[in-house]
Amino acid sequence: MSEPQAGRRVAFLVAPEGAEEVELTEPWRAVARAGGCPVLVSTTTGPVQAFNHLDRGDQFDVDRVVDDVSADDFDALVLPGGVANPDQLRTDGRAVAFVREFFNAGKPVAVICHGPWILVEAGVLAGRRITSWPSLRTDIVNAGGEWVDEELVRCDCGPSILLSSRKPDDLPAFCEALVAELASQEVTL
C-alpha cells in the first residue's frame, strides 16, 4: 500500500461529546502511521469526550475550532460515528457548512457508522452510494442517497470521493481505504 504525501492534513470533526472512540482513534492512527497529519476539529475548545458505545471513554484535546478553519486548510475529512456525535454536529450550522465545503472543494470525505447523519443535514447525499449503521438507512434514502449494506463503499460520483463503512468491525477496511485514498490524491498544500 502506498503512503500519503508527508504532511497530508486530515480534519477529524467531532462534537464536544459522543464520538465513538475507536472510530476516532483507529483512523487517526492509520493517518499518522502513514505520514499524514491528523487534526482534531470540534465546535468548541478544550477536550472532547469520546465514548465506547454508551460508556465514557477517553478525552482528547481539540486542535482547532470549526469557526476558525475551512476545507482549504485540509486535504481530507473524517467523520467518526457514535450516536450523539453526528446528532450534535448536525445542529451546528458551522459544522454542517464545514462538511459541505469538502464536497464543494472535491476533497475526500470518510464517514463511519452514525456519521452520515451530518451528511444528510449538509444535503450532499443525492445520487451517492453509501453505507452506515443500519438505522440510518431511511434518513439516507430520504436524502437522495443509495444505501447499501457493505463493509466499505467508495463512491466517486461528484467532485468528492466518499468513503463509508458501517461499524467498528469495518475499521480495518475503512482505515486501509482512507490511507490509499490520501496516497492517490494529487492535492498539495
Average pLDDT on 140-153 reads: 98
Helical (H) or strand (E) element with 154: strand 152-155
Label residue 19 by pLDDT band (50, 70, 90): very high
Instruction: Match 482528547 to its residue by C-alpha cell.
Output: 60
Q: Which of 114, 155, 157, 175 is catalytic?
A: 114
* pLDDT of 186: 59
121 pLDDT more than 60: yes
Residue 53 designated active-site: no
Tell me which CATH homologous superfamily contains domain 9-184.
Class I glutamine amidotransferase (GATase) domain (3.40.50.880)
Average pLDDT on 15-29 reads: 98
Domain ranges in the chain?
9-184
Which pTM value belongs to this model? Answer: 0.94
Handedness of CA 53, 58, 59, 65 (dihedral sign): negative
pLDDT tens by residue, 31-46 = 999 999 999 999 999 9
Label residue 71 by pLDDT band (50, 70, 90): very high
* pLDDT of 76: 97
- The radius of gyration computed from the CA coordinates of the chain, to the nearest angstrom, equals 15
Residue 113 designated active-site: yes
* pLDDT of 4: 44
Q: Which of 113, 155, 157, 175 is catalytic?
A: 113
Label residue 6 by pLDDT band (50, 70, 90): low
* pLDDT of 187: 44
Among 22, 153, 23, 13, which residue's Cα sits nearest to residue 88?
Answer: 13
In sequence order, what E strands does 5-135 have?
Answer: 9-14, 17-20, 37-42, 47-52, 55-61, 64-65, 76-79, 109-112, 129-130
* pLDDT of 7: 77
| Helix-then-strand count for the chain, H and E | 6, 12
116 pLDDT more than 80: yes
* pLDDT of 39: 98
